Amino acid sequence: MTMDTLYELIGGNPSPYSRKLRAVMRYRRIPHIWRLTRPKMSPEIDAIKPKLIPILRFPDGTYRIDSTPLAHELEARHSERSIIPPDAADAFVCHLIEDYADEWGTKWMFHHRWKEDVTAAWAANWIAQDSLPTPQDAQGQAFAKFFHDRQRSRMALVGSTPATAELIESSYIKMLHILGAKLGGEHYLFGTRPSLADFALFGQLAQLSTDPWPLTILRKEAPILEGWVMVLDDASGVEGEWQPQAAWAAETRKALLARIGAEYLPFLHANATALKAGEKEVRVAIEGHTYTQDAFAYQGKCYVEILRRWQALPAAARAQLEPLLAETGCLPWLKVAN
């Protein structure tokens, strides 16, 4: 096998999106090389802007970023072991849950990684060990301290503040209860084979089940998920079926949609409103809490894409989903002007 047929995935183990895409490629049996990022890499990689991980080098030598578009590009190029449910309505729900995990779930990860002193120090050292060829020397120690201080200074940018801590922490526990009640082993959101939504949740949980503080919570609230994460990290041997009507799968999706309707879609709408008005801050009421963070253009694009996908659904698929989305509080946020 040569680089003409091989992908190269460049990322980091402490990165939820790197772990998400690596798990996708392993499950789909797409031949690839996994490379850790290093301070000095090849000139073509150094030239990538913005240099966000994961970076995927395609067999033709081009480089691209952003885990969700990359997953869909791989779907277009490889038909085997698809991670998108074949039914249009299920595919929409899959996208909605994936986006929730990527954009709201990262708040669980970032908050629990950097709030507590002991876990923050542990995480900074792990990131240095993963990123540097000689992390034990003075340069490695300086990098760990720099990264620690930088990330803690950014907590408010992603909405992690003393005022929002209770909301984020309770959101994490609610998610654990939902997934821990029904998933485990080789049970996934749409059957006995994993979807892109499962891999997005996995990406965040791969961090939350490694960092000391959130791991302690996970082991208390949903211990079965630790094993679920281990299986999904390399599911190349998993053989399963799409079974969206299985009670455990349908109940889990419905419970996650209820969280999306209560937390994520109200936030996305408030963020879009702030961006449109040119306001710097997002402020939204979520289940009795006032959630604030800086307006974020990327999450504005996420909302546009969700609304586009909703409008693009065949009428029959929308009619099929509307009762479920209404019951879970999602529908009003999908019937707004784009």
Q: How far is CA 268 from CA 122, 157, 336, in A?
A: 32, 15, 12
SS3 per-residue string spanning 81-94:
CCCCCCCHHHHHHH
- pLDDT for residue 3: 55
Which pair of tokens denotes residue 240? 């399963």
The 10s digit of each residue's pLDDT in 18-69 is 999 999 999 999 999 999 988 777 777 777 888 789 999 999 999 999 999 9
Q: Is pLDDT of 109 > 60?
A: yes
**CB atoms closer than 10 angstroms to residue 300:** 17
- pLDDT for residue 2: 54
Cβ atoms 128, 143 nearer than 8 A: yes
The phi and psi torsions of 292 (rounded to 5 degrees) equal -135, 145
The 10s digit of each residue's pLDDT in 113-134 is 999 999 999 999 999 999 888 7
Q: Which of 6-15, 30-39, 79-88, 232-241 has the lowest mean pLDDT?
A: 30-39
What is the rounded average pLDDT for all residues in the chain? 94
Distance CA(120)–CA(74), nearest Å, equals 34
Distance CA(28)–CA(329), nearest Å, equals 34
So where are the chain's domains? 7-77, 88-109+161-334, 116-158
pTM for the model? 0.96
Helix (H) or strand (E) holding 169: helix 165-182
Tell which phi-psi region holds residue 184, choosing left (phi > 0), alpha (psi between -120 and 50) or beta. Answer: left
The percentage of residues in the chain with a pLDDT greater than 90, rounded to a whole number, is 87
Taking the domain 7-77, which CATH number applies? 3.40.30.10
**Over residues 140-156, mean pLDDT:** 93
Distance CA(301)–CA(102), nearest Å, equals 13
The 10s digit of each residue's pLDDT in 229-264 is 999 999 999 999 999 999 999 999 999 999 999 999
Which residue in 158, 105, 148, 154 sits closest to 126, CA to CA? Answer: 148
Contacts of 198 (CB under 8 A, 6+ apart): 83, 188, 189, 190, 232
3-class secondary structure, 206:
helix
Question: Could you tell me the pLDDT band of residue 4, with boundaries at 50, 70 and 90?
Answer: low
